[in-house]
Structure 1
């Protein structure tokens, strides 16, 4: 009887001895890591913020993969909205706020919203609160102006940094190939001043207190 009992215990114990060898430890480790260990490849890990350039001490950040409708806002300490990270409008709003202490309405989310074709030449565009000059008419751009482009879904906008007899240079954020500076041709026509390049601006906008021609 005793011998039969020992045989029965051995039969019942053998399967449990094999259990550790049957466990897929690679799979178990992956599952544990997914629960308790940060994974650098996870989609919620924020991209590193990179400064590509500066203009008057204002950083120009590397773009991220998002559209002008994406809600990933950047705000000042006082709550003022700079814009969505790190599109072209975010840079110009932040630049005007930090350099000129000038604020614009929150609804200027896309570059296209800065331009109104119904505004007369040299009149205030009430949305940004800036003087609007259409390209090709009687006003030459000035350093500090905002240059508005309408191409693309959201348009594009940059800050004029240099104006010479035959070219205009703008500082910009969220441009192709992380290009922070762009040089455009400037020439005089029978109608006025024309700015042209791979894309041509619709207009430039100016702070009212700097409304003087070069």
Structure 2
């Protein structure tokens, strides 16, 4: 009799655990769904999607509203894929296409895919057709370099930007970016640190490195 009662109690305990797990899963799904929905909206009434909000060397940065908002695909007259309007990838690829006349051999992929961990420091990233340098390596970044950020919990796709200004004397680096968020700036500044070992580090653990045209 006691064993039967014990089994009943164990079954009830298991049921409570399963119900709790199911409830937690439903809550997490609701949070993720709500986040995906909200980040597709334009929550900033001061700007409209597609409005020019900055530029570098004649290449415009457009306002995108929520970070997960997507317009149609931007392509060149002859069909080269520049990217989805107005995501961060679209800006950096448009900058390299319009400013530098560069077409990436692999014109697709998320921002995080622009940095190839298998490519050695200073070697050619063949998918992008650009030299790749690691953060905290021996090559400092330069104006026009394409900066690649690692993914985060809220942004699994990573991020990309362009170096817009460097002050070696003051030890600072500025980037320009598209689709940073409805209330975020198109510019960010980071400390640029030179170490006695001969390495240069942009002081952000999000930055993997930078790409550069030969």
Same fold (TM over 0.5): yes
Aligned partner of residue 173 in structure 2, secondary structure = strand
Residues 108, 114 of structure 1: 8 Å contact kept: no
Per-residue CA deviation, residues 19-40 of structure 1 (Å, 9 max, x unaligned), is: xxxxxxxxxxxxxxxxxxxxxx
Query: Contact 1:135/1:195 (CA < 8 Å) preserved in 2?
Result: yes
CA 1:48–1:184: 2 relative to 1, 3 Å? closer
User: Are residues 1:168 and 2:173 paired?
Assistant: yes
Point out the more displaced range, 72-81 or 148-157: 72-81
Residue 88 of structure 2 corresponds to which residue in structure 1? 88
2:115 is equivalent to residue 108 of structure 1: no
Structural mapping, 1:15-164, within 5 Å: 48-65=49-66, 67=68, 72-152=72-152, 153-164=156-167
Pairing partner for 1:179 from 181, 185, 189: 185
* Number of equivalenced pairs: 161
Partner of 1:127: helix, strand, or coil? coil
Please identify the structure whose Cα radius of gyration is greater. 1
Q: Structure 1 CA distance, aligned partners of 2:118 and 2:185?
A: 31
Contact (CA 8 Å) 2:115, 2:209: kept in 1 or not?
Answer: yes
Shift of 1:48: 4.5
Contact 1:50/1:62 (8 A) holds in 2 = yes
Counterparts of 1:53 and 1:118, CA distance in 2: 34
Quick check: 131-140 or 48-57, which moved more?
Answer: 48-57
Gaps of 5+ in 1: 1-42, 209-214
Contact 1:92–1:159, Cα closer than 8 Å, also in 2: yes
Task: Give distance in 2, aligned partners of 1:48 and 1:148.
Answer: 24
- Give TM-score scaled by structure 1 length: 0.69
TM-score w.r.t. structure 2 length? 0.69
Q: Distance in 1 between matches of 2:193 and 2:49?
A: 41
Unaligned runs of 5+ in 2: 1-40, 42-47
SS of residue in 1 equivalent to 2:112: helix
